[in-house]
Chains A and B, each alone.
Chain A
Amino acid sequence: MSDGGFDDLRDVRVPRPPMRVIGLAALVIVAIAIVWSSFYTVGPEENGVVLRFGEYVRTTDPGLQFKLPLGIERVYKIPVQRQLKEEFGFQTVRAGVRSQFSTQGRAEEARMLTGDLNAAVVEWVVQYRIVDTYNFLFRVRNVRDTLRFMSEAIMRQVVGDRTVNEVLTVGRQEVASLVEVKLQELCDAYELGLRIDQVVLQDVNPPEPVRGAFNEVNEAQQQRERLINEAQSEYNQVIPRARGTAQQTIQQAEGYKLDRVNRAQGDAERFTELYQAYALAPEVTRKRMYLETLNDILPNVESKIVLDESLQGILPLLDLKSPGTGQTQGGR
């Protein structure tokens, strides 16, 4: 706009926005910024920790909350209701119905020495929650790493006081609960502001090269049980039956006894009765019985020979052995 050929434009004024409008716009922007930065939302599982110029002033509950704007007050949101989890010796690669795990790069975490100077591989999970937001934020730096260090140290301390057999079998539950207690104690001592909900032992194994030998022990143990059971079963097949048979033998003898005694008593009674009758007239009764007996038996005897006492030497001439008859009886 110098002295060129544009003199006719000299009077034309480019319309500028008035200062008042600019000021107004700036004011609106500032107002929006103030309003925008003076409230915040705390999620249902969170607590808000509010700092004013870096100084802790209050903790707020879930919901819409207000604060002083423009960076005077700042908010940290801490998920106090959420259960957090640290995995040791493995890593969940993809959680879901069929979670995938990986031990890649985590092998060292799981390797430890037992009290009998053997090696074991222990994988575990620590579930915890933030209960003290102030301690969690302002007492300890790097809470998560600290928790991991502590957890590894405590687990090794507890496992280091047990035999490899204990750790692998009967001691599992005890190890987990002891670690839980000791870890909580250490959390309190370190003022981490955490509560340990649970320590869960996952796979507890002998180291890979030794695993076969451990399985062999299990198999041998099974084998031992099997052999013993088989022998026991043979025993059970035989002995109860033998006991039954023994009872049978004894009962049969008891039966024999009853039979024998009863019969003997019967016979004796019969004899006594008969004798009492006989005693009344012995001579006649005796004769009668004798003759009756002969009367019974003689008709059955086919060959009857009566020898006169005065005829001597006839006996050797008799053919006493007729074919088919093998028996001879002599009488008086």
Chain B
Amino acid sequence: MRIALIVAAIVVFIVLANSLYVVNEPEQVIVTQFGEPIGDPIIEPGLKFKTPFIQRVHRFDRRFLEWNGDANELPTRDKRFIWVDTYARWRITDPLLFFQRLRDENGAQSRLDDILDGETRNAIANHDLVEVIRSTNREPVETNLTIEEQTVLEDIETGRLAIQAMILEASQERTEDLGIEILDVRFQRINYVEEVRQRVYERMISERQRIADRFRSEGQGEAQRIRGERDRDLKEIESEAYRTAQTIIGEADAEAARIFAGAYDRSQQTRDFYEFLKTMETFQNTIDQKTSLILSTDGDFTRFLTSPETP
């Protein structure tokens, strides 16, 4: 009796275990019966029932899923070889269709590989490298380099964002009947392939050397200019000072001459008196010990030596 009870309990347990199942929050589930899908996909999480043994549960992720392709070596329209590494974000929108077409996520990943790699290749091959790299036609901020050396940003027509959008759109069309939706495709990495990289490095080096040469020559030129300016300023300052000083001296002399003339040149009497006075002064200043004077008795002063009479 007791054994029958235990057996019954085990049977009940197995049946329950086979008919109860949990749908987790990030999952969606379809139930199949002998491989045939039964009912709508179950999206609501929680504890669910199914017919035991004959029905099977297939779980699919309901979250946004990641796809990360292998890096591919691709040529751009301007024949440059680059490594392009893309990622995409997708989700299973129709689990039933997904189950029928792709079976599981591995199938989906490999189909996405085909679609996204192909569309990426198309998009890259149809655009120049610069279109893939740049996204806007912004003007570069001026750096401390001179304008000419400032490497100019080539203008673009399409741009990175638009190319990404193109790939996305083209891929979306091709995944419509797979029960999945691609939400975003982006270039994760774009790099030159090894041989191109070496040549780019060489170009960068020569470009830098050009800039360095320019700096050096600019420095020398500027220094020479400052020296020239120094010489010029020096001459200017000195000559201007000379000119001003001479003008002032001239003015002074002219002023003095005017003053003298005003005093001495008033009448015949003042002129005579000035002449007399100045002569006397000159005598005093010029006749000294070493002078020999030969005076004639005919002179005004010596005439009394010979005669006391006034002539």
Which residues on A are within 8 Å of B, measured CB to CB?
51-56, 108-109, 111-119, 137-142, 145-146, 149-150, 152-153, 156-157, 160-166, 169-171, 174, 189-191, 206-207, 209-210, 212-214, 216-217, 219-221, 223-228, 230-232, 234-235, 238-239, 242-243, 245-247, 249-250, 252-254, 256-261, 263-265, 267-269, 271-272, 274-275, 278-279, 282, 286, 289-291, 293-294, 296-298, 300-309, 315, 318, 320, 325-332
Instruction: Contact check, B294 vs A318: say whether CB atoms are below 8 A apart.
Output: yes
Shortest Cβ gap from A157 to chain B (Å): 6
Partner of B215, one of A145, A217, A256, A260: A217
Contacts of A153 in B (CB 8 A): 87, 186-188
Q: A115-B153, A220-B216 are in contact. Are A331 and B280 (CB under 8 A)?
A: no
- How far is it, in angstroms, between the C-alpha of A206 and the C-alpha of B136 when the chains are bound? 23
Instruction: Contact check, B22 vs A53: say whether CB atoms are below 8 A apart.
Output: yes
Contacts of B298 in A (CB 8 A): 309
Contacts of A301 in B (CB 8 A): 287-289, 291-293
Q: A223-B219, A320-B292 are in contact. Are A217 and B66 (CB under 8 A)?
A: no
- B161 to A, closest residue via Cβ: A157
Instruction: Contact check, A247 vs B241: say whether CB atoms are below 8 A apart.
Output: yes
Contacts of A308 in B (CB 8 A): 297, 306
Contacts of B7 in A (CB 8 A): none
Interface centre among A114, A212, A226, by most B CB within 10 Å?
A: A114
- A208 to B, closest residue via Cβ: B201
B245 in contact (CB, < 8 A): yes
Instruction: Contact check, B135 vs A256: say whether CB atoms are below 8 A apart.
Output: no
Q: A161-B138, A328-B292 are in contact. Are A268 and B262 (CB under 8 A)?
A: yes
Shortest Cβ gap from B163 to chain A (Å): 11
Contacts of B255 in A (CB 8 A): 257, 260-261, 264
Which listed segment binds A: B31-39, B107-115, B144-152, B166-174?
A: B144-152
Instruction: Contact check, A306 vs B302: say whether CB atoms are below 8 A apart.
Output: yes
Contacts of B129 in A (CB 8 A): 117
Which listed segment binds A: B10-18, B116-124, B222-230?
A: B222-230
Partner of B141, one of A117, A170, A224: A170
Instruction: Contact check, A232 vs B226: say whether CB atoms are below 8 A apart.
Output: yes
- How far is it, in angstroms, between the C-alpha of A139 and the C-alpha of B188 when the chains are bound? 22
Shortest Cβ gap from B24 to chain A (Å): 3
Instruction: Contact check, A329 vs B291: say whether CB atoms are below 8 A apart.
Output: yes
Partner of A243, one of B66, B190, B237, B262: B237
Shortest Cβ gap from B211 to chain A (Å): 5
- B203 to A, closest residue via Cβ: A118
Instruction: Contact check, B150 vs A275: say whether CB atoms are below 8 A apart.
Output: no
- A303 to B, closest residue via Cβ: B292
Q: A53-B46, A328-B292 are in contact. Are A239 and B151 (CB under 8 A)?
A: no
Which residues on B are within 8 Å of A, measured CB to CB?
22-27, 44-47, 61-66, 68, 87, 89, 129-130, 133-136, 138, 140-145, 150-154, 160-161, 184, 186-192, 197, 200-201, 204-205, 208-209, 211-216, 218-220, 222-227, 229-230, 233-234, 237-238, 240-242, 244-249, 251-253, 255-257, 259-260, 262-264, 269-270, 273-274, 276-277, 280, 283-284, 286-302, 305-306
Q: A157-B187, A306-B297, A328-B292 are in contact. List 4 more A-B contacts (CB 8 A).
A: A116-B151, A141-B65, A170-B141, A331-B299
Partner of A119, one of B197, B225, B296, B297: B197
Top 9 closest pairs, chain A to chain B, by CB: A224-B219, A246-B241, A54-B24, A268-B263, A257-B252, A264-B256, A253-B245, A213-B208, A231-B226
Shortest Cβ gap from B89 to chain A (Å): 7
Instruction: Contact check, B292 vs A156: say whether CB atoms are below 8 A apart.
Output: no
Contacts of A242 in B (CB 8 A): 233-234, 237-238
- How far is it, in angstroms, between the C-alpha of A289 and the C-alpha of B277 when the chains are bound? 8
Q: A55-B46, A329-B293 are in contact. Are A221 and B237 (CB under 8 A)?
A: no
Instruction: Contact check, A309 vs B297: say whether CB atoms are below 8 A apart.
Output: yes
Contacts of A118 in B (CB 8 A): 151, 200, 204
- How far is it, in angstroms, between the C-alpha of A256 and the C-alpha of B251 when the chains are bound? 10
Instruction: Contact check, B241 vs A250: say whether CB atoms are below 8 A apart.
Output: yes
Instruction: Contact check, A305 vs B294: say whether CB atoms are below 8 A apart.
Output: yes
Instruction: Contact check, B240 vs A246: say whether CB atoms are below 8 A apart.
Output: yes
Contacts of A235 in B (CB 8 A): 226-227, 229-230, 233
Partner of A305, one of B89, B256, B274, B295: B295
Q: A138-B26, A207-B201, A303-B293 are in contact. Are A257 and B216 (CB under 8 A)?
A: no
Shortest Cβ gap from A282 to chain B (Å): 7
Name 16 interchain pairs, CB-CB below 8 A, sorted by A.
Answer: A111-B191, A141-B26, A152-B189, A162-B140, A163-B150, A213-B208, A217-B208, A220-B212, A238-B234, A246-B240, A260-B253, A264-B257, A264-B259, A306-B294, A306-B295, A306-B297
Contacts of A231 in B (CB 8 A): 222-227, 230
- How far is it, in angstroms, between the C-alpha of A275 and the C-alpha of B153 when the chains are bound? 93
- A149 to B, closest residue via Cβ: B87
- B27 to A, closest residue via Cβ: A54
- How far is it, in angstroms, between the C-alpha of A209 and the C-alpha of B270 when the chains are bound? 99
Instruction: Contact check, B241 vs A307: say whether CB atoms are below 8 A apart.
Output: no
Instruction: Contact check, A55 vs B25: say whether CB atoms are below 8 A apart.
Output: yes
- A224 to B, closest residue via Cβ: B219
- How far is it, in angstroms, between the C-alpha of A30 and the C-alpha of B231 when the chains are bound? 104
- How far is it, in angstroms, between the C-alpha of A279 and the C-alpha of B269 when the chains are bound? 8
Contacts of A249 in B (CB 8 A): 241-242, 244-245
Contacts of A51 in B (CB 8 A): 24-25, 45
Shortest Cβ gap from B291 to chain A (Å): 4
